[in-house]
Amino acid sequence: MNTRMVSAALGIVLLAACASAPPDLTKLPDAPTYAPAAKLPEVLDRLPASSYTRIAAVDAKGVVGMSPVQLRARILKEAQQLGADAVVLEDASTRTATESKFNPVTGGYDVKPGEVIPGFKGVAIKYRP
């Protein structure tokens, strides 16, 4: 019974930590407020030639084991809520350091390669009519 209570408390703490994750998009102070978009924004690799308004800055970082596709989906959902038509994204992924530890059994080193932490930087935009 005691173990069950500890597990429940740990679960609540973990859920609270997930819920308080920082947003991936930060609305720009001078940007107008738009109603949420009906569909997900398109993803661009550069700013369009047509006129647009910048509505939010993107600075998103995932965790080890998360795929870039999962992180991009999260960004698009947030951009949709801000009314964005498109999101211009640049890969900002990082890699953890490679670790090596001496193994006294083999007399050699065990090497654990670095892992990728997905990340994106960019801007959410609204096309002008």
What pLDDT is stored for residue 2 in this prediction? 52
What pLDDT is stored for residue 21 in this prediction? 57
Domain spans of the chain?
24-127
Check residue 97 and give left, alpha or beta (phi > 0: left; psi -120 to 50: alpha): beta
Is a pLDDT exceeding 60 seen at residue 1? no
Question: Sorting pLDDT into bands at 50, 70 and 90, what band is 92?
Answer: very high
Question: Sorting pLDDT into bands at 50, 70 and 90, what band is 124?
Answer: very high
Location of structure tokens 């661009």: 44
| pTM of model > 0.85 | no
Is a pLDDT exceeding 60 seen at residue 3? no
| Mean pLDDT score across all residues of the chain | 86
Side-by-side strand order, sheet with 119-127: 25-27, 52-61, 119-127, 86-91, 42-44
8 A C-beta contact, residue 38 and residue 81: no
DSSP 62: -
Topology of domain 24-127, CATH: Translation Initiation Factor IF3 (3.30.110)
Tokens in use for 71? 């992180």
User: Based on the number of CB atoms within 10 Å of its own CB, is 88 exposed (0-12), middle (13-18) or buried (19 or more)?
Assistant: buried
Once rounded to an integer, what is the mean pLDDT over residues 45-60?
95
